[in-house]
Structure 1
Amino acid sequence: MKHLNIWMICLSLCLLATCTNKQQDAKMISVTIEPQRYFAERIAGDKFKVNSVVPSGQSPETYDPTPQQMIQIDKSQAYFRIGFIGFEQAWMDNIIKNNPDLKIFDLSEGMEFVRNEEEHDGHHHEGEHHHHHPGGIDPHVWSSLQGSKVIAQNTLNAFIALDKENEAYYRDNYDRLMGEINQTSESITSLLEPLKGTAFIIYHPALTYLADEFGLHQLCIEMDGKEPSPAQLKRLIETAKEHDARVVFIQQEFDQRNAELIAKEAGCKLIRINPLDYDWNKEMIHIAQSLADGKAD
């Protein structure tokens, strides 16, 4: 963790200089990533401001917050964590230590996790490439239909716990959100159900749960958080050809050179996606449509 001691000194000075107290800002909550803000804002309506800590375009696996962002957390009544993402693994202890009154809610609670050490039928084949996260749990629960419903339910429960007086308001908003999620699910299911067994390539394995739901093969360029060696790249290209992969997904947080090389060598279409986009529903449909279009080419 970069220059942690200097960072903590700067944070302490900023906190001492902050005159705003939590009581004044009691109607704000913080979340880790932008897709959480999508769910939280739809349920919170005008009752809470939602502060997203990891900015768009930054990786929540490795991001270090600024002192100003930590001050925003200090102003928050609660923190909604997504579960096991790298940022939370590295920073939650410090966040809790510096904010002992901060209420913490885990939006992944009740989720059926994919664990890296396990083999999953239809997804773990010789020659495939996998990524391992600390603790063995894949954290990208929001990039799936099941995960979206778990997050929505836990977000509702958190707001009710924080503000019981407005429970009916939050439940009405939750019902509207579930309508959006169900509509999105129908669109994605119609696109992906015919693609069972289809392979796709992605730099960072952000679509593990989506692949698991629809019997897709996710082939990852990243090897345990590192750039692949030339030998690993060669094996990945061979595996992509064997599985007739048609799409290579690129993400703005990661280097594109290897993805471009693989797309050229394997004859795949290069498509930019952003699983961390605020507009969860539009991005999920974009990903599904891209897979369907790739298979049709």
Structure 2
Amino acid sequence: MKGKVAGLFLFFSLIIFVLLSPIAGWASQEEKLLVAASILPQRYFIERIADQKVQIEIMVPPGANPATYEPKPSQLVSLSRASLYFAIGVPFEKAYLGRFFQINKNMVVVDTSEGISKIPISSIHDLTNGENGKSHGHEHSQGELDPHIWLSPRLVKIQAQNIQRALSSADPQNTKSYQKNLKRFLKELDELDEEIRGKLSETKGKKFMVFHPSWGYFARDYGLDMIPIEVEGSEPSAAELAKIISIAQKEKIRIIITQPEFPSRSAKVIAQEVGCRVVPISPLAPNWRENLLLLGDTLAEALKDNSREETKP
């Protein structure tokens, strides 16, 4: 109860801050459409379509966790005059989108996941309970769908089209420019998809471990199996860790992908036991294209080694 009261107090305090904040400096940006989005990779998508025609406010800053981040008063000031909010389905939005709308009821919330068929988030329990060993994520809660749709070039094509339509609706005078940029971006995404597919052409069916299961769509797209370490959003217990180590040994895991937004202690313990590499790659990196290529190169190197090892007599 005290937590709820404290949360409401903070929320209304922020609203008062927004309403009383000076509006000096608005004129310098008023010629541009102000749009907001949740995570850094979305900036890349919006910029590829809007070019220099919009001002972009990203809510979750570098290094922050989209599941726990709380917006700063200065961000709420920006939101109070934003025309569009590009939602993508991260946990942060469930807690705050309704509150954002109370601050700016003229802001249009655009669901960039519209048209995407999301996959369920599976769990390490799928393996420890004796299932078939194929895992594309973990279980935040029973029946929850994987929100990490920005890590698949094919799914980003759908998001890009949703972004373009919203920009054109809010700023019709620049529609032709947005459409032209979208066409170019879709071509770039196809080329990126083919480049990653080429890198991973010899790793079909291979397994890799992650702490937080961000890379489920990437794994699905390129024929890989992702095994999560995290158990229902937390570090595994000692007993669970022992089971995961056993799985890693059985599956001949050669690489564990971690990310700076989450702890890596258990990943390091597993790596020490099985003799594999731990490589940090953030799914929230702002250099989105280069980041996916980095993951492709990293997995190709590690999993090709695994393939060669398995073919030894």
TM-score by length of 2: 0.87
1:198 lines up with 2:206 in the alignment: yes
Alpha-carbon offset, residue 129 of structure 1: 9.1
Residue 5 of structure 1: aligned partner: 8
Residues 67 and 127 of structure 1: CA distance in aligned 2, closer, same or farther (over 3 Å):
same
Q: Which runs of 5+ in 1 are unaligned?
A: 119-123
Identify the residue that residue 108 of structure 2 maps to in structure 1. 103
Are 1:36 and 2:39 matched, yes or no? no
Letter in 1 for 2:149: V
**Counterpart selection for 2:77 from 66, 71, 79:** 71
Distance 1:78 1:218 in 2: 35
1:48 aligned partner: 54
Counterpart contact for 2:36–2:56, Cα < 8 Å: yes
Change (3 A) 1:89 1:294: same
2:279 is the counterpart of 1:276: no
Question: How high is the sequence identity, in percent, across the aligned residues?
Answer: 33
Q: Where does 1:1-297 land on structure 2 (aligned, <5 Å)?
A: 3-20=6-23, 25=30, 27-82=33-88, 84-116=89-121, 125-126=132-133, 130-133=137-140, 136-297=144-305
Instruction: State the shift of 1:37 in Å.
Output: 0.6
Distance 1:126 1:189 in 2: 23
Superposed displacement of residue 246, structure 1? 1.1
**RMSD of aligned Cα (Å):** 2.3
Deviations 1:101-132 (A, max 9, x none): 111101110011102379xxxxx635969522
Task: Kindly state the Cα deviation for residue 13 of structure 1 after the two structures are TM-superposed.
Answer: 2.6
Q: SS at the partner of 2:35?
A: strand
Counterpart residue type for residue 237 of structure 1: I
8 Å CA contact retained: 1:79, 1:102:
yes
8 Å contact kept, 2:137–2:214: no
Letter in 1 for 2:109: I
State the match for 2:126 in structure 1: none
Instruction: Give the secondary structure class of the aligned counterpart of 1:43.
Output: helix
TM-score by length of 1: 0.91
Structure 2 CA distance for aligned equivalents of residues 65 and 5 of structure 1:
14
Moved more, 263-272 or 31-40: 263-272
Shifted more, 249-258 versus 109-118: the winner is 109-118
| Structure 2 residue aligned with 1:121 | none
Structure 2: gaps (5+ residues):
124-130, 306-313
Relative to structure 2, which stretch is displaced further, 194-203 or 133-142?
Answer: 133-142
Deviation string, structure 1 residues 195-248 (Cα, Å, up to 9, x no partner)? 111111111111011111222111111111111111111111111222222111
Helix, strand or coil for the counterpart of 1:195?
coil
Deviations 1:164-186 (A, max 9, x none): 22111011111222232122111
Distance 1:257 1:59 in 2: 17
Q: Secondary structure at the match of 2:279?
A: strand
Structure 1 counterpart of 2:309: none
